Amino acid sequence: MAMDKKVMYALIGGVALIGAAIAYKMVSGSDEVKDDLPGEEEEDADLEQIGELETEQGHIKFDQFLKIFQICSFYGKTIFNKEKKKLIAERREAYKAEDWVKYE
């Protein structure tokens, strides 16, 4: 029995979202949100624009799920990219200083 395309896309989206969250946690090493990063207020405002959740057979409608996924992905990627730039700069400084332990 073949999986419905919507179910397959939802599973792929969920796995990508969880993978991004794990990658961010591993890279950041902390739970705190930096001041220059997008805050929860902006993300919450974007999520509120979607409106009340609509369900089909106990599940969020696929169109709404995609909108939520896009918003979460945007903020997750933005935070990850800023943290990555900071870590790359630190690594380059360690290379210039020949601090190989910190460089690793």
pLDDT tens-place string over residues 20-54: 666 666 556 554 545 555 666 777 787 788 888 78
Distance in angstroms (rounded) separating the CA atoms of residues 92 and 103? 8
What's the gap between Cα 101 and its chain centre? 29
| Residue 100 half-sphere exposure toward CB, CA atoms < 13 A | 0
pTM of the entire structure? Answer: 0.48
Domain edges within the chain: 10-21+39-103
Higher-pLDDT residue of 27 and 95 is 95
pLDDT of 89 higher than 50: yes
- Predicted local distance difference test score (pLDDT) of residue 92: 93
Average pLDDT, rounded, for the chain: 77
